[in-house]
């Protein structure tokens, strides 16, 4: 199969509608509930490189000492390098020992990432989880935003983005006018529409929009009976009830809940690419099957009627 490809906002970067999210490759059992050994991680990257997915998202901070990036780098060496048509993006993170997230740390974070990945540059570099510092720290003259702008002006990276969770905070960063791309996770799913207005506004401004974690940390892929948490935390009973009702509706139409969860994001005109965490080679093909599964229009109407109240969600 082939995935739809298109522009990432007005950045000039072409991406496929599905992006390979690599945080599970870091074997963060505390977050995901399972381990991923190095061979499995490398084989997963190789399977992606052999697939129609031509967009990979990673981060300096995924795992101890950049585990995800190191495993991607190992896979790229086995593959004889990064294919020319694959977009590889990473994110800058604070110093894991000191928590420093200064402008100097941004540069250090990028060069650590390039060394681990075994590449000379990346076209897209994100400020990762800026909620870890105050907005004032983030936008200070010697802070991370200023350093990202300098890296872009110097031609070290082509475009810069902001990637995180809290919708209002991400909006404040976009209002600085310096970011080309927005990434938010777990805030635009079948269950939670918190980021919808922000995504729409960003899209209207020509900012690239990436929607990460369409499965809500796995519950909408594994099923609410299998995974009892949502978005890496506990779930409200009303969220669970909505998820079970959505699963039942999907089954009546011969559709998997996971396919509906993925396609909910793919069908949004505001979303340029959907970042899906994948941790086994088999899941690559399965994700592509979810993207292609036929979903009747009446099911979308049923699912919309089951969305839990917006006040359940934290920003």
Cα-atom radius of gyration of the chain, to the nearest Å? 19
Q: Give the active site residue among 62, 173, 188, 290.
A: 62
- 123-137 burial string, b = 16+ CB within 10 Å, else e? ebbbbbbbeebeeee
Distance CA 64, CA 104 (A): 21
3-state secondary structure of 101: coil
Where helices occur in the chain by DSSP H, the ranges are 29-32, 38-49, 67-78, 103-117, 135-138, 144-153, 167-174, 196-204, 219-222, 237-252, 257-266, 281-292, 297-305
Q: Which two tokens stand for residue 224?
A: 């609410």
Strand partners, 211: 184, 274
Please state the φ and ψ torsions of residue 57, each to the nearest 5 degrees. Answer: -115, 130
Strand partners, 259: none
Contacts of 13 (CB under 8 A, 6+ apart): 7, 87, 123, 124, 158, 159, 208
Which residue reads 């340029």 in tokens? 272
Distance CA 143, CA 249 (A): 48
Distance CA 144, CA 293 (A): 42
Active site residue 62: yes
**In this structure, are residues 101 and 61 in contact, taking their beta carbons and an 8 Å threshold?**
no
Distance CA 299, CA 69 (A): 39
Distance CA 312, CA 315 (A): 10
Distance CA 193, CA 2 (A): 28
Annotated catalytic residues are: 62
């Amino acid at each position: 199969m082939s995935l739809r490809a298109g522009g990432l906002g007005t950045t000039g970067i072409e991406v496929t509608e599905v992006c390979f999210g690599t945080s599970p490759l870091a074997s963060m059992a505390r977050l995901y509930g399972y381990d991923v050994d190095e061979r499995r991680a490398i084989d997963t990257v190789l399977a992606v490189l052999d697939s129609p997915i031509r967009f990979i998202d990673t981060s300096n901070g995924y795992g101890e000492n950049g585990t995800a990036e190191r495993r991607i780098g190992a896979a790229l060496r086995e593959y004889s390098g990064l294919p020319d048509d694959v977009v590889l993006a990473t994110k800058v993170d604070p110093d894991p020992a000191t928590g420093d997230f200064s402008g100097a740390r941004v540069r250090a974070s990028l060069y650590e990432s390039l060394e681990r990945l075994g590449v000379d540059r990346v076209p897209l570099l994100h400020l990762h989880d800026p909620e870890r510092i105050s907005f004032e720290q983030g936008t200070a003259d010697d802070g991370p935003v200023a350093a990202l702008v300098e890296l872009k002006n110097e031609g070290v990276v082509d475009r810069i983005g902001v990637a995180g969770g809290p919708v209002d905070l991400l909006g404040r960063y976009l209002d600085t006018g310096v970011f080309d791309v927005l990434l938010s996770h777990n805030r635009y799913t079948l269950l939670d529409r918190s980021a919808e207005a922000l995504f729409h506004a960003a899209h209207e401004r020509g900012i690239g929009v990436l929607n990460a974690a369409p499965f809500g940390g796995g519950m909408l892929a594994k099923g609410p009976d299998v995974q009892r948490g949502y978005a890496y935390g506990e779930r409200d009973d009303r969220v669970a009830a909505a998820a079970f009702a959505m699963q039942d509706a999907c089954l009546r139409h011969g559709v998997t809940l996971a396919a509906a969860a993925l396609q909910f994001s793919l069908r949004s005109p505001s979303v340029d690419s959907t970042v899906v965490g994948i941790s086994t080679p088999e899941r690559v093909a399965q994700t592509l099957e979810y993207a292609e599964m036929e979903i009747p229009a009446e099911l979308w109407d049923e699912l919309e009627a089951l969305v839990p109240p917006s006040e359940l969600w934290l920003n």
